[in-house]
Structure 1
Amino acid sequence: MPTEKAPAPAAKALPAPVRAMHKLGLVRDIDLALHLPMRYVDETRIVPISSLRDGDTGQVQGTVSECRVESRGRRQLLVKLDDGHGELTLRLLHFYPSHQKTLAVGQTVRARGEVRHGFFGREMVHPEFRAVQPDTPLPQALTPVYPSTAALPQAYLRKAVISALGRAPLHELLPPGVVPPGLPPLREALHTLHHPGRETPTEALEDHSHPAWQRLKFEELLAQQLSQAQAQAARAKLAAPVLQGAPGGLAERLLAALPFTLTAAQQRVVAEIAADLGRPQPMHRLLQGDVGSGKTVVAALAAAAAMGAGWQCALMAPTEILAEQHFRKLVGWLAPLGITVAWLTGSRKGKARQAEVEKVARGEAMLVVGTHAVIQDDVVFAKLGLAIVDEQHRFGVAQRLALRKKLEGEGAPPGKQLEPHLLMMSATPIPRTLAMSYYADLDVSTIDELPPGRTPIVTKVFADGKRPAVIERIREEVAQGRQVYWVCPLVEESEHIDLQNATATHAELTAALPGVLVGLLHGRMKPAEKAAVMALFTAGEMKLLVATTVIEVGVDVPNASLMVIEHAERFGLAQLHQLRGRVGRGAVASVCVLLYTAPLSPTGKDRLKAMAETNDGFEIARRDLEIRGPGEFMGARQSGDALLRFADLAEDGALLQRAREAAPRLLREQPSVAAAHVQRWLASKAEYLKA
């Protein structure tokens, strides 16, 4: 008779505060030691009650002269506190019998909160309070207030942090000369940040300029640089197919058949990629270029190099519209050269999908284009040599790893794992500090030149009151045979945000422009409906397309000359730049109109100002990093978990540079110290950097 396994201890067996700590990731002593206060409370001094003015926050100490429950209106506890210089009422709207005991008449009580003048004179509503002896000493350090949850009281968390600080392995790992001069030892830095003395300038703590903060930032940046270098070294030990075609092969034939000449920048990056593909280690390269710089043809030439060497290539894009744009271009270029291209997306199902999957498995389809459907379990490649991921920041770590694992060790040297080469593409240029930190393990190729014949786009910013004039401009553009995009941020009405939705705008513009075919495109439409709308617009039959951001990337209609972005203040800077890039793709002068609704937030003003001032994607990216931080660029690279908790790329460039210089030396001379430092700071998070 089979014996039953003993049930695993339920998580609920843990006390509620411990469960709450685990939810916050506070499991190890080092986790608690690195859980830093978000602000501090000064409990080091007592102020006379009589000195407090309306709106002041202060700490008082006195004797309870009255404690009573008041039932008028709502039940509340009213406590009178007298310090010999004045009286103060403590008002508790939620209270327990234990509170009445603590605040009993005759008790000495220390209370802290904001003072306001109420019906009973000076009062504090729901102050922090505790019973003390008249001679209870005051703390000598500021009291930390930690990020927490309702189930994890500050008092419990403070005790847990103090205890963990005593146990955590905070000994100095780094040898002399690595840490920038003038910064304190790690243990001292953490003690200062958790319990700063009353004389510590709170401004330096809050703006993170204090030397203790600088030490933590450096430690974190060094761990990141070491982790990136370790990932790069580990990849160098992997094997990949050598993708070198014969002279006059597929890549050269494709180049000769193209109806245009590559720019110098495109030629340079094609050569960089070809050199990587010719090595027996996996390429891990990011191809970045501004909107319209011609990344797709570079990807096609890389694919041709792989296929010319007898290996398959997969290209994965985040949306069906973008994937279809790539599919059409690649079929147009490669089908005349005898290449079969398979098409795999979520909307392709049943026998049609099965037929494509079988072509891939038999090796008949040398190139596979699609969305995340490309990495589903039933898709088996005969011989995958190159994986291309477009708009890579839109994919998660797991999705990119799954694509790389589609080559299961075929033909690998003994003891080595075989991986496909990986080319990632992004139309959001990466600022230098980001490339030095999160992308330090990548080789980066940059197309820093636009193809000839592209006209600069004029960007105009208008308040929503100019809407009728904008519609009049659309009428003029359409009359001249041009096409127009109108982008809306929402698909349906929101109860909280009063924005015109795409459907209402479509109806408004249809009524305002009789005789003009106005299309509607949004994320909730079925793929076949989207394809039909895009086909009409691409063919020029539809003159005006009202869309949500599904047209953000990849849509290429050279005849479109006007882009209107409604509620532009709601979009991110990188997204605005991507949308603007849908026009200006032909020889005709193009305009991008940003309509905003007042009042604008400071961030909204900064974004619209940047858009009006520059068309340079690299400058846009730099400003976006300043405004919003690295999250927008990283996408799901960290699976939603920001690796840099303390350092700020916009402000800590000097520390980042120092960490970049120190990391290779430490790995070379003291690898065990480097490994221990990464483990202390990143633990399992280091894995995310390898994707």
Structure 2
Amino acid sequence: MPEVSSSPVAPIKASKSAPQKAMEKLGLKRDIDLALHLPLRYEDETRLTPIGQAREGETVQCEGVVIESRVELRGRRQLIVKMEGEDGAQLLLRFLHFYPSHQKSMAEGQRLRVRGELRGGFFGREMVHPAFRAVNEDTPLAQSLTPVYPAGANLPQAYLRKAVAAGLRRADLAEVLPPGSVPRQLPTLREALDFLHHPPPRVSLATLEDHSHPAWQRLKFEELLAQQLSQMRAQRERAQLRAPALRAGPGGLHKQLLAALPFALTAAQQRVAEEIAQDLARPRPSLPPRDGGSPSPGVEVSSGDFSALAQPMHRLLQGDVGSGKTVVAALAAAVAMDAGWQCALMAPTEILAEQHFRKLIGWLEPLGIKVAWLTGSVKGRARQKMLDAVADGSAGLVVGTHAVIEDKVQFKQLGLAIVDEQHRFGVAQRLALRKKLEVQASRGRGQSMEPHMLMMSATPIPRTLAMTYFADLAVSTIDELPPGRSPIVTKVFADTKRLEVIAKIADAVENGQQVYWVCPLIEESETLDLKNATETHAELSAALAGHGVGLLHGRMPPAEKAAVMAEFSANRLSVLVATTVIEVGVDVPNASLMVIEHAERFGLSQLHQLRGRVGRGAVASVCVLLYTGPLSITGKDRLRAMAETTDGFEIARRDLDIRGPGEFMGARQSGAELLRFADLQEDAPLLKAARALAPRLLDEHAEAALRHVERWLGGKAEFLKA
């Protein structure tokens, strides 16, 4: 008899179907998620149009009996079904893709109800691939409009409609807000959702499509209120946190750095540097020192002052391309190190991180500060040496990519974290950074602290957006460029002018100018007919014989990328063909001409960032945008904006109009749009009402506020803290 194992048997996990996986990908996990998954549009299946009265070009629903059904081999297999209505008129149904089950359900004598666009064909009126179902003479018509939901691959509408209907029935949609909270004349949440999922046939489709119907207004208000409540909760939570109070000593590192800089700060740089310094030093009630004394700040990192406490700075430093944000960040880091604390600067790409690193070591190492370098390409002993310097505090400043927040990186005592191009990091990464950088302020005391946070961006955030998404974020703006920057002229050409553009490049390099040529892809794509960087490099090398043409893309080894950039910076290469790895951080003042190929494929802020690589010297600069037609409306808007303005704030405003707030803020990098229904500009009155109500709810109805946020945001509430 075989021996029976006594070990527990692991339960067999039921495998999920393709539609279930597709629903999870859309974030449809809870009943409330399904209830809030609203239709894109509606189909009217509440009435029948006699076949004889249907007009060509209209989408109609007809009913009739199948009088003929056959498979034809005319070029390709087709299922041809002919049906006849009560009025004797006939309609041909043509299916180019079909299964045997389709033939059975549309056999001769079967009554069908079909819906599709009526066309005039060689054999009379026809519909190609209509929606259809077998019915009886007494099969009732739909009583409400049929919803068409946002879906993905492997998620049929019929399956999704059943799932949403079931979720809508089960979802707890009880009113959680106290009486008088919701603007007057708006329906309850249950009434609003029932209406939007199944609107009656006589409703005005215009009010549904433009989201002006009271049912839509209720959802927008609820969403905006949840967002405002979450932000204000985050603001209040942050007010309870503690960070070290960082003050620059008289004649210390901060003053030394200012004196050593080879240029004078602009008035805007001076103003924002002072705003940051005040934030870092703003005192909070402090704990008594463990030994009864008051340790004074030292220059060494190991002597950080734990007795002086501040509220953690949460500040965005924004400024146009080339406005000088790096030196402001260096001054903030100097304040932190002056007070005896470490600083970390994290950038999204190795090229950008290296640009910061080279500038910072040039400014700080002569002053006796060790700057550590941490990226994915730093390996072996060199990496361990850097990790040790960070851990023992001998490295006052750490510069790198996301490698800075890896588990093995342990700071001795971190006082300030700087994130450059913060929108380029996913929301989850930004949250991980905050959690990674929490420090234990004093051993044995248990007073939890976190470092000050300074985020930098060359994509300015419009004031309305900052107020809405960053309730607890202070914003510093560098609104002037350093003197000596040349203006940039932007020209837009169709790619049919490509040879003329290459001829202009030849003239430019003959006159000693340097040129960027930016391509969107590295290698051929079957779906996008785009010239790749390798082909363009070969083409320009042939056309510019005698002049050096370099190639730079993201798949090159870091050392090779650095070597190419060094050659271009030293003016030993006349042209640099590159992908968007040069979007940020590349600074070559002699480069005065940029060509962006397939400009219609780039986002507006990305185009502006790329354009900012030229115009860094005294020579007048030109940016050429080559596009392939036909252009979409969005593509036309982007290129028009680029041609009309070089003002980063105006670019940001137009980018917000084109893309919407969720994508603008990088929220989509997390898979979670922060606002799905409301529009910050169109719904300003609702936003004002939500902003006024939120603090009252938190103060007087905290439990209701919490339930409201959980209903609408679930785990996404954390994203608003990033």
* Structure-2-length-normalised TM-score: 0.89
Select 2:364's aligned residue among 331, 334, 340: 334
2:536 is aligned to 505
Displacement after TM superposition at 1:60 (Å): 2.0
Is 266-275 or 606-615 further displaced after alignment? 266-275
- 1:398-477 matches, within 5 Å, as 398-404=428-434, 405-411=436-442, 416-477=447-508
Whole-Å separation in 2 of the counterparts to 1:395 and 1:145: 34
2:277 is aligned to 274
Displacement after TM superposition at 1:324 (Å): 1.1
1:28 is aligned to 30
Contact 1:67 1:80 in 2 (8 A): yes
Whole-Å separation in 2 of the counterparts to 1:94 and 1:497: 26
Pair 102,435 (structure 1): closer, same or farther in 2 beyond 3 Å? same
2:625 is aligned to 594
Which letter does structure 2 place at the counterpart of 1:35? H
Which letter does structure 2 place at the counterpart of 1:275? Q
- 1:234-245 matches, within 5 Å, as 234-245=237-248
1:290 is aligned to 320
Whole-Å separation in 1 of the counterparts to 2:215 and 2:575: 57
Superposition RMSD in Å: 2.7
2:62 is aligned to 60
Whole-Å separation in 1 of the counterparts to 2:631 and 2:584: 26
- 1:188-267 matches, within 5 Å, as 188-267=191-270
2:614 is aligned to 583
Whole-Å separation in 2 of the counterparts to 1:105 and 1:533: 72
Contact 2:323 2:481 in 1 (8 A): yes
Partner of 2:118, secondary structure, is strand
2:376 is aligned to 346
Is 41-50 or 290-299 further displaced after alignment? 41-50
1:319 is aligned to 349
Pair 671,486 (structure 1): closer, same or farther in 2 beyond 3 Å? same
Is 426-435 or 322-331 further displaced after alignment? 426-435
Displacement after TM superposition at 1:416 (Å): 4.4
Displacement after TM superposition at 1:618 (Å): 0.7
Q: What whole-Å deviation, never above 9, does each CA across 1:327-353 have from its counterpart, x for those lacking one?
A: 111111111111011111222211122
Which letter does structure 1 place at the counterpart of 2:262? P
Contact 2:485 2:618 in 1 (8 A): yes
Whole-Å separation in 2 of the counterparts to 1:402 and 1:621: 27
Partner of 1:682, secondary structure, is helix
Pair 412,678 (structure 1): closer, same or farther in 2 beyond 3 Å? farther
Select 1:673's aligned residue among 696, 704, 708: 704
Pair 537,107 (structure 1): closer, same or farther in 2 beyond 3 Å? closer
Q: Does 1:88 align with 2:91?
A: yes
Which letter does structure 2 place at the counterpart of 1:308? D
Displacement after TM superposition at 1:620 (Å): 0.5
- 1:303-314 matches, within 5 Å, as 303-314=333-344
Which letter does structure 1 place at the counterpart of 2:167? A
Whole-Å separation in 2 of the counterparts to 1:650 and 1:439: 16
Whole-Å separation in 2 of the counterparts to 1:518 and 1:97: 60
Displacement after TM superposition at 1:603 (Å): 2.1
Contact 2:488 2:614 in 1 (8 A): yes
* Structure-1-length-normalised TM-score: 0.93
Displacement after TM superposition at 1:216 (Å): 0.9
Q: What whole-Å deviation, never above 9, does each CA across 1:453-499 have from its counterpart, x for those lacking one?
A: 22221222233344444344434444444322222222223344333
Select 2:410's aligned residue among 380, 388, 399: 380
Contact 1:411 1:418 in 2 (8 A): no
Is 570-579 or 236-245 further displaced after alignment? 236-245
Select 1:526's aligned residue among 557, 562, 571: 557
2:127 is aligned to 124
Pair 16,6 (structure 1): closer, same or farther in 2 beyond 3 Å? farther
2:637 is aligned to 606
1:48 is aligned to 50
Which letter does structure 2 place at the counterpart of 1:341? V
Q: What whole-Å deviation, never above 9, does each CA across 1:511-550 have from its counterpart, x for those lacking one?
A: 3334322222121211111111111222233332222211
Whole-Å separation in 1 of the counterparts to 2:462 and 2:567: 38
Is 264-273 or 104-113 further displaced after alignment? 104-113
Pair 113,570 (structure 1): closer, same or farther in 2 beyond 3 Å? closer
Contact 1:65 1:82 in 2 (8 A): no
Pair 679,402 (structure 1): closer, same or farther in 2 beyond 3 Å? closer
Displacement after TM superposition at 1:120 (Å): 5.1
- 1:540-579 matches, within 5 Å, as 540-579=571-610
Displacement after TM superposition at 1:607 (Å): 1.4
Q: Runs of 5+ in structure 1 lacking a partner?
A: none
Select 2:676's aligned residue among 617, 635, 645: 645
Whole-Å separation in 2 of the counterparts to 1:49 and 1:559: 71
Whole-Å separation in 2 of the counterparts to 1:155 and 1:496: 30
Select 2:385's aligned residue among 346, 355, 365: 355
Partner of 1:11, secondary structure, is coil
Q: What whole-Å deviation, never above 9, does each CA across 1:569-600 have from its counterpart, x for those lacking one?
A: 22211111111111122222222222233333
Pair 163,569 (structure 1): closer, same or farther in 2 beyond 3 Å? closer
Q: What whole-Å deviation, never above 9, does each CA across 1:399-440 have from its counterpart, x for those lacking one?
A: 333433244323289564221111111111112332233333
Whole-Å separation in 1 of the counterparts to 2:7 and 2:125: 65
Pair 97,559 (structure 1): closer, same or farther in 2 beyond 3 Å? closer
